[in-house]
Homo-oligomer: A and B are copies of this chain.
């Protein structure tokens, strides 16, 4: 468990600060993460990696010559925001373009995707290569759905080495993609980590048992077996990975990099005992082992678990794997000293402006800021229950994520309103803050909702019920497009769509806004209840081992809660009028 922290809410920030102090030879802080503290003589393609925090040396520890140029560092186990990714990439770009690379998780894909769009609009050449090495997270014919785990290091290393050699963005992207296509990982776990301040581990595995294929945030695995011997685990790892060969690879005669990665509290000595058999089995299969790694390269706090990654080399990849690298958390060979650089960050350029607004829109902005405060309060009360529900099917961070996001939105909304902002500006400031602090998929989606509604309300109009209903409908459409989810997928969309449809129908039928909102909220709550029931069933079924029921997220539940809270604010406003 995590024992050393100050205020758990400050953990990720303080960790990044301490890391930047300790690793000042390699990195310097910029808003959103870190970039290199040194530069080569010639400009290079910038490899920018990232993801949630809690996986050290991924991601900040992999910044330095021969590896990444920058790392976007999100909150604990939560993807960074688009704003963070944009900020780090903008500083890192040396004029030769940016390669984003990160593990394939919905929140990261959303946020880095938004950042990429914004950077491209600003004239940066930006590409993205997702890491998808975890063979248990989706079948072989759906590799694009697979998660990224310790294969991160491989793809970053190959991309970083290619960039260091001065290759252009096309080649760096191609080689990173090629490395990912030739990288496969397989992980197991004996127990989960306990996040700072949490009172229970993210997941547990029964004593003496081992979860097979479990994700690095505790995402459910595919099987549970008795803990094998070290040799038995090595055999399981190697036999499965030798069955899942990349296209065009045959085992015998191949050259392979094995990476035996510890997740946190499986220690070096145990890993070496396992590696002994991995090494022997690869040799017996006719494979030549090249520069293996055994250690902690992509962790999950003190999670008890480990994974084996195989990188199937070819003539292009082998020299890139062998090239020198010098970062706080991964070093190889001899990197010639480079000159130090001091990055100048124009923080003022990053502050959202407050434009002119009409008096009625300012009044509406004040009301919205008040409603945001109510939402934050309601989510404080619900956070534990939301977290508990999320931990059954997901990574357990939904409660804390909604809490962080809504607090930030409340503060930003209040500041904007006090600064004279209209409705749109209050919502846009709140949206940016929510996304920044919450990270994760839900942070991105709530930012999308607030921004879309804000754009419909504007800063100088006095919107009527019809405008509000249309704004909500647009937000519903945007979220479906953006999150690629539809009704029935057991996400927030299950509640958002009936809410938007009921609201529009009621308003069209002549109901006042507060009444229409109440009925729409009833519809959202019905969907939320269905999700809650499914989660409860799933909780019971999981304890009996049935994993066929899918992975509902409690987004519908928190969405309905927000609707109900806003309804109270609306009803109160109507009553006092």
Contacts and interface: CB of A to CB of B under 8 A. Distances in A.
B274 A231 contact: no
Contacts of A342: none
Contacts of A272: 14-19, 22, 56
A326 to B, nearest CB: 8
Contacts of A53: 269
Given A21-B279, A276-B14, A56 B4 contact: no
Contacts of A332: 331
A105 interface: no
A270 interface: yes
A5 interface: yes
Interface in A345-370: none
A77 to B, nearest CB: 11
A430 to B, nearest CB: 29
Given A6-B273, A276-B17, A265 B268 contact: no
B273 A15 contact: yes
A68 to B, nearest CB: 17
Contact of A56 (B21, B233, B267): B267
A275 B334 contact: no
Interface in A1-50: 2-6, 11, 14-19, 21-22, 25
Interface string A251-276: 00000000010001111111111111
Nearest to A336: B334
Contacts of A269: 2, 11, 15, 53-54, 56, 301
Nearest to A302: B265
A202 B266 CA distance: 17
Query: In the complex this chain forms, how many copies of it are found?
Result: 2
Q: How big is chain A's contact interface, by range?
A: 35 or more
Contacts of A276: 14-15, 17-18, 21
A440 to B, nearest CB: 18
A304 interface: yes
Listed residue (A17, A296, A335) with the most chain B CB atoms within 10 angstroms of its CB: A17
Nearest to A12: B269
A571 interface: no
A139 interface: no
A269 B19 CA distance: 8
A558 to B, nearest CB: 27
A4 B273 contact: yes
Contacts of A16: 272
A233 to B, nearest CB: 6
Nearest to A324: B334
Given A14-B272, A302-B302, 19 more contacts: A2-B267, A3-B227, A3-B270, A4-B227, A4-B229, A4-B230, A5-B230, A5-B270, A6-B230, A14-B273, A15-B273, A17-B276, A21-B292, A22-B272, A54-B269, A56-B269, A61-B268, A196-B270, A264-B265
Interface of A: 2-6, 11, 14-19, 21-22, 25, 53-54, 56-57, 61, 190, 196, 227, 229-231, 233, 260, 264-277, 279, 289, 291-294, 296, 299, 301-302, 304, 306, 324, 326, 329, 331-337
